[in-house]
Copies of this chain bind each other. A is one copy, B any other.
Amino acid sequence: MKLRDVGEFALIDRIERAVRRAGIGRSGVVLGIGDDAALLRLRAGEDLAVSTDAVVEDVHFRFANESARSIGRRALAAALSDLAAMGARPLGVVAALAAPPSLSLARAEGITRGLVEGARRWQAPLVGGNVARARQTALTLTVLGAVRRGRALTRSGARPGDRIFVTGTFGGTALAVARAARGARMRAAPEPRLAAGLALARLRGAGACIDVSDGLVADLGHLLRASRVGARIDPARVPRPPGFAAACALLGVDPERLALAGGEDYELLFTLRPEGPGAAALQRRLGVPVAEIGVVTQGRGLRPLTSRRLPGFRHF
């Protein structure tokens, strides 16, 4: 069964039913799927945070080596990661699916299932969407969140002397991509660091924050430019997943390159004023592993303590 056999409105009905079955907590949802727009409610003293993100077939995912469900779920994790980086709590998600009429209904519904599962897991109800015909399957997600006024984390909040931290480990998704390129199934289930972002936004002495989607070096570059500062980082202190070096050796890929330039781990990269808590205390506050990897400097530019060239992923 293909999309062309069920039609646009039947597909939307099926998605609507899947969302209703999931029964996601809808405290902030005044009006969900089915009208010209969804209605969401913020609490007093909150601002709206909004971000949009797209994944495209054969660019960001391949049906050949990943389940449709994983594609939908990963796309939502990626989008929500931007809310995590602002210290926002999710309010809802709208999804625009573009797909060829020849796409199987199973794949379209698989993507939806992954989305709905992620929506429940991360408390970000799917409140609206759009379906359109296209030659390639693509999913554009816009995430809506709420932040306390004046307390949002931004890319521009770093100052010289700030210490630089990261959550979690780096290179895991790049390793999964490298394996998938050699025929393995794509296995990566990144978690947007929503609770950690919220805790960080409450922390006295928080500086700048960004989520690492393009790669650690690339995203640190974005943060530094926005803050008009520089940094020095120690690549050896960037945490990697267990067994990472051995797995990279087996595959013949450079572990340092994967950890520093590989993207889509969706960890948080942030800075704290020098007098703030250390990594151990932070780890307790944020509820995730935290490592200190460097320091913000007055001079512009990023000076890693390595001479290797570490290009990030570029879309064009």
The one of B8, B37, B60, B91 that contacts A86, using a Cβ cutoff of 8 Å = B37
Specify which chain B residues have a CB less than 8 angstroms from the CB of A91 in the assembled complex.
Answer: 48
A35 to B92, CA, bound (A): 19
Contact A3 B316, beta carbon cutoff 8 Å: yes
The one of B9, B50, B132, B211 that contacts A60, using a Cβ cutoff of 8 Å = B132
| CB closest residue in chain B, given A8 | B315
Interface presence of A298 (CB below 8 A): no
Interface size on A, residues (CB 8 A): 72
Specify which chain B residues have a CB less than 8 angstroms from the CB of A55 in the assembled complex.
Answer: 132
Contact B136 A130, beta carbon cutoff 8 Å: no
User: Least Cβ distance of A32 to chain B in Å?
Assistant: 11
Contact B142 A94, beta carbon cutoff 8 Å: yes
| CB closest residue in chain B, given A9 | B314
Specify which chain B residues have a CB less than 8 angstroms from the CB of A7 in the assembled complex.
Answer: 314-316
Interface presence of A300 (CB below 8 A): no
A11 to B314, CA, bound (A): 12
Specify which chain B residues have a CB less than 8 angstroms from the CB of A49 in the assembled complex.
Answer: 37-39
Leading 3 A-B pairs by shortest Cβ distance: A8-B315, A37-B51, A142-B142
